[in-house]
Amino acid sequence: MGDIFSDLKRVGALKRELLSGQPSDRQLARLAGVSHGTAGRWLEGAQLPQDRDGLIRVLGAIKAEAAARGVLNSLVDDASGETVAQLLDAGRWGSAFEAERERRAQESRADTERHQAREAMEREVIRARLTALSDPPRPVRAWSARRLGVHPAIPGHSVALGSGFVLPRYVSRPHDAELRTHLSAATTAGAAPCLVVLEGGSCTGKSRAAFEAVKAVVPDDFDLLFPADPAGLLEALAADALRPGSVLWLNEAQDFLAEPDGEAVAAALLRRLDRDGPLLVVATLWPDHRESLTATVPFGEQDSHRQARALLAQAHRVVVPRSFAGCLEAVRDAAQDDPALADAFRTGTDELTQVLAAGPDLVNHYENPSGQAGVHGRALMRAAMDAHRLGVTGPLPLALLEDAAAGYLDAADRAVGLDWFTHALAYARTDIKHTTRALQDVPRTSGMGVEPTVLRLADYLAQHGRRAHRADCPPHSFWEAAYRHLTRPDDLAALADEADKRLRKRWASRLWRRAAEQGSGWALSVCAQQLWSEDREAAEGLACEAASQGDFRGLYTLAFIPEHTRDFAEAERVSLLASAEGGTFGLRRLSESRLRAGDTVGAERNLRQAADAGDTEAMILLARSRAKAGAQNEAELLVNRAVEVNDTEGLAQLAALRMIEGDRNRAEKLAARVTRRGSTRAWNLLGDLVEERGDLEQARSLFRKAADHGDDTALSRLAWMAECVGEHDESVRLLEEALAVGHTDAVATVAVLRNETGDSEGAERLARWITEHGDHIGYLRLAEARQRAGNSAGAVSVLQTAVEAGSGQALVQLAELYEKAGDDESALPLLRRAAEAGHSDALLRLACLCVRTDHDEAEELAGQVADAGIPEVLSSLADRREEAGDHDAGERIRWRLVAEGYAEALIALANRQAREGNREEAVRLLVRAADFGDEMTAFSLGQVWEYGLEPDGSPSRPWTWAEEGHREP
């Protein structure tokens, strides 16, 4: 007897050969209660029946057919010597079925054991790998608030001093619900990785909010990784430590995303966020650091934070406010049995987290020193504040603080014994309410203990320094101490840049040089730019050295100088030096300049040079140029090269080439590849090409594919095309689809088209339709279209309808119409209504209108706009006051701007003093303007003091970069 499968095959052969295929497979399937075809697969030996009884019924039916035909005693085959009756015996098949099931069970148990053993080995390998990390992950519940960097609180009067880490009761605020929603969604099975950034100033409760949210919603079986520094994070990412079911905790994310390792960290995190979840990255960040990490890069400058900007663009941003406004009742309730909260609440402020962290006490310790040691300690703190305020992010050497202090003290305070620094340091390190210190220890990057010769400034005091001393330039002793004792190239370069903004050009040159010596590519580039007019050979050498470190700003600038004067040959020579190190932007920029000058041959050559250096954007640009010239083969080769380096735009362009060649099938296959990479660019590109040819049906088919893959803008195109050919029902169907996904702009576009074709009633019907879905864009766009067409009455009509529907923006647009018509009095109440509803653009227009018409509330409104970051309106009001002869009012307004940190107001005040003959006062005001460190102000004042200023504000003597490079301060 063979195995059950070979015996089933023999039964199948018996049925076919001796029984003429009877009973049929369909009859047997019905008899066994299985789907059609299943019984046939049993008798082919391809599938084991799941039900023994069903199999016995099938075999019984076959046996009955064999009996009816009189073949039960016939041999099945010569080899086995078995009869048909023996083969179809029910007892035999019952035993065979059970034997096969047992065999499979044993095999399954063996497979399970092997799988479990393999998983155990893999877990052991992973455990060993993670244990070897400098900062290994641990179960999420194993981390305490203290270990995760949550700031301790003041102990409160009823808590014994020295009782340890104080964590007051947590009082939730609105941002907590938002945060927990993000975290909860990201911890569910199958959820994609999620980055959440809590943004707020020092001591606003960012870390505590994150800790409480993690404790509340993250499952117990998650691990948490808390790297000490960028190196530890990169090590963990390389070891794949962030497995699904992990939390990455990044306290003070700027420390991980700033140079020199920031871009590597951001790139590695981006790659991890593209993989499997659930994974939570919880980060805290100060607003000013977010601004610097996400700022737009000026044309021609190196993008130092490209990866960090891309990373933060993916983040769920949760803003943590400074105050507990609106939550004070909950605080009062919690304070009844919490001494720390009770003490904080009694202060009467709503900025409770700062009080709990002893922030105000820390500032008081700095602002109101006691005794000589306090005065000297304050000087140390001030030096540390200036260092952080001007860009130093690393630990502060004690030698720097000691040498810098003299400049912050008067002569009497400097006349002290040799042990002054010991006492000053003790004061600066006084324990404030058993919670914090002004100057704090710096833990070792690995192992136990602290770094012996450096300290760090308390975050709250650093933030206070930025506010209180933003318009101050540090003394000579600070710059000299920084030059002598700082060694981190990024710190030196940041200080050099801030010195330059304050017109301390000579000190800037020295610090740039020192930063370059320490390996800063940025500093090397700056030195190259400055040396160019004095020593071109040395400048080019420095720029090339910077490029070898990945900073191409120097070479790009050196190339732009001759490019600007149309010395394209020299610009090309320098751009090729950058290209040799991988910096091809200069060649692409040069190609644009040559194209504008009509030098198409030179432009193509520069693009080819950039393409040969691996620049995919240059490959695409050159391919377009060659395709226009009819060189299709060369264009295709270039696009294929871009595709080989995984360039999505290259794939889209290759699809376009295929479509131009008439190969629609291959074009669409390429477009599908682009779609799989998360982009509908190719479908839209193909749709544009086909639409230009006039094949609207094919174009609609292509845009439909873009829409089906989530491109809502394609719905707008489709609706527009349907409307253009008179298919209004299809247009409406597409517009309904667009509204369903929230793409109201598509409907507004068609509304404008209907208006332009004379169907004003249909246009307004669509606008009303959009409004019913909670958006007023239809009315607003329709009003703009009617206004452009000169139909002011029609524009006013739809805007009034939008106002009645609750649109604040319609109030602003309607006011604008009245303003253009010269009816300011009708515009004012509309703008007031919109401003009261919280529309910032309305507030700006209202302020401008009040300034122009000199209404009573002009200064108050202009001040509100200035507080929101737009000082120009307040400055304009000062101009109007002075033009009207009210110089006192103009001066008062400008001093208000100065208090808000606007250096331009000081220049205006200085100009007035100069006109009145007060030259000395004018110069003093201009120096004060320079001290603000505003880049545009420095640019304008650079023409006043060609060689810059000394730290005390006096004009610097003539000097050159070359001589300063050989001079020791």
Please compute the mean of the pLDDT values over residues 245-266 and round it to a whole number: 86
Instruction: Indicate whether 181 and 102 sit together in one domain.
Output: no
The answer to the question of residue 668 being in a domain is no
Residue 161 pLDDT class (50, 70, 90 cuts): very low
**843 exposure class (CB count in 10 Å sphere: 0-12, 13-18, 19+):** buried
- Residue 146: pLDDT band (50, 70, 90) is confident
Q: Is residue 497 part of a domain?
A: no
**Residue 175 and residue 286 in one domain:** yes
String of b and e for 697-736 (b: at least 16 CB within 10 Å)?
ebbbbbbbbbbebebbbbbbbbbbbbbeeeeeebbbebbe
Domain boundary among 486, 514, 537: 486
Angle (CA) 636-642-643 rounded to 5° is: 85
Amino acid 158: pLDDT: 44
Which CATH number belongs to the domain containing residue 290 in this structure?
3.40.50.300
Average of per-residue pLDDT across 689-707: 71
Report which residue type is found at 201.
Answer: G
Q: What angle do CA 551, 552, 553 make, to 5 degrees?
A: 100
> Quick one: 424 and 469 in the same domain?
yes
332 and 198, same structural domain? yes
pLDDT band at 651 (very low <50, low <70, confident <90, very high): low
Name the least confident of 239-243, 296-300, 344-348, 859-863. 296-300
Least confident of 226-230, 448-452, 677-681: 677-681
Per-residue pLDDT band at 655 (split at 50, 70, 90) = low
Residue 444 lies inside a defined structural domain of this protein: yes
> CA 444, CA 652: separation in Å to the nearest integer?
51
Within this chain, do residues 364 and 344 fall inside the same structural domain, yes or no?
no
Q: Between 412 and 340, where is the model more confident?
A: 412
Residues 196 and 88 in one domain: no
Structural domain range at position 8: 4-106
Residue range 195-220: mean pLDDT, rounded: 88
Q: Residue 196 — φ and ψ, nearest 5°?
A: -120, 125
Arithmetic mean of pLDDT, 717-739: 71
Residue range 269-284, pLDDT digits in tens: 888 888 888 999 999 9
Query: Do 74 and 147 belong to one domain?
Result: no
Lowest mean pLDDT among 31-35, 271-275, 314-318: 31-35
Among 205-214, 383-392, 606-615, 955-964, the range of highest mean pLDDT = 383-392
pLDDT in tens, 66-77: 888 887 888 877
The Cα diameter of the chain in Å comes to 134
Residue 180 lies in a domain: yes
The highest-confidence range among 479-488, 532-541, 703-712, by mean pLDDT, is: 479-488
* pLDDT of 162: 44
Q: Which of 91, 106, 121 is the last residue of a domain?
A: 106
> 710 pLDDT band (50/70/90 cuts)?
low
Decide if 783 is inside a domain: no
Maximum average pLDDT range among 133-142, 684-693, 740-749: 133-142
**Residues 760, 821: Cα–Cα separation, whole Å:** 24
State both tokens at 828: 């004012």
Tokens of 690: 């086909």
Distance separating alpha carbons of residues 733 and 898, to the nearest angstrom? 58
Are residues 319 and 376 both part of a single domain? Answer: no
Say what the pLDDT of residue 84 is: 78
| Of 361 and 446, more confident | 361
Q: Mean pLDDT over residues 87-110, rounded?
A: 78
255 and 362: one domain?
no
Contacts of 61 (CB under 8 A, 6+ apart): 23, 27, 28, 31
The CA distance from 672 to 511, in Å, is: 54
Burial class (CB in 10 A: 0-12, 13-18, 19+), 361: middle
370/368 Cα distance (integer angstroms): 7
Residue 164 has pLDDT above 70, yes or no: no
In a domain, 610, yes or no: no
Percent of the chain with pLDDT over 70: 85
SS3 726: coil
pLDDT per residue over 419-476, tens digit each? Answer: 999 999 999 999 887 778 889 888 887 777 888 899 999 887 887 888 889 889 999 9
Helices (H), ranges, 469-598: 476-485, 489-501, 505-517, 521-531, 536-548, 553-564, 568-580, 585-596
- Mapped onto helix, strand or coil, the DSSP state of residue 319 is strand
* Among 324, 348, 372, residue at a domain's last position: 348
Give the domain CATH number at 77: 1.10.260
Q: Examine the pLDDT at 685 and tell me if it is beyond 80.
A: no
Judge if 267 and 388 occupy the same domain. no
The span from the CA of 788 to the CA of 308, in Å, is 42
Average pLDDT over residues 949-968: 83
Distances (CA, A) of 112 to 102, 107, 109, 856: 15, 9, 5, 84
What is the C-alpha end-to-end distance of the chain, expressed in Å? 101
102 and 65 within one domain:
yes
The answer to whether position 263 is within a domain reads: yes
Of 634-643, 759-768, 826-835, highest mean pLDDT: 826-835
Q: Which of 14, 15, 47 is nearest to 28 (CA)?
A: 15
31: left (phi over 0), alpha (psi -120 to 50) or beta: alpha
Instruction: Print the SS3 string covering 71-132.
Output: CCCCECCCCCCCEHHHHCCHHHHHHHHHHHHHHHHHHHHHHHHHHHHHHHHHHHHHHHHHHC
Number of domains in the chain: 3
Share of the chain above pLDDT 90, in %: 16
Residue 740: per-residue pLDDT: 63
Are both 275 and 421 inside the same structural domain?
no
Is there a domain that residue 779 lies in?
no
Confidence of residue 647 (pLDDT cuts 50, 70, 90): low
* Strongest mean pLDDT among 175-189, 489-503, 594-608: 489-503
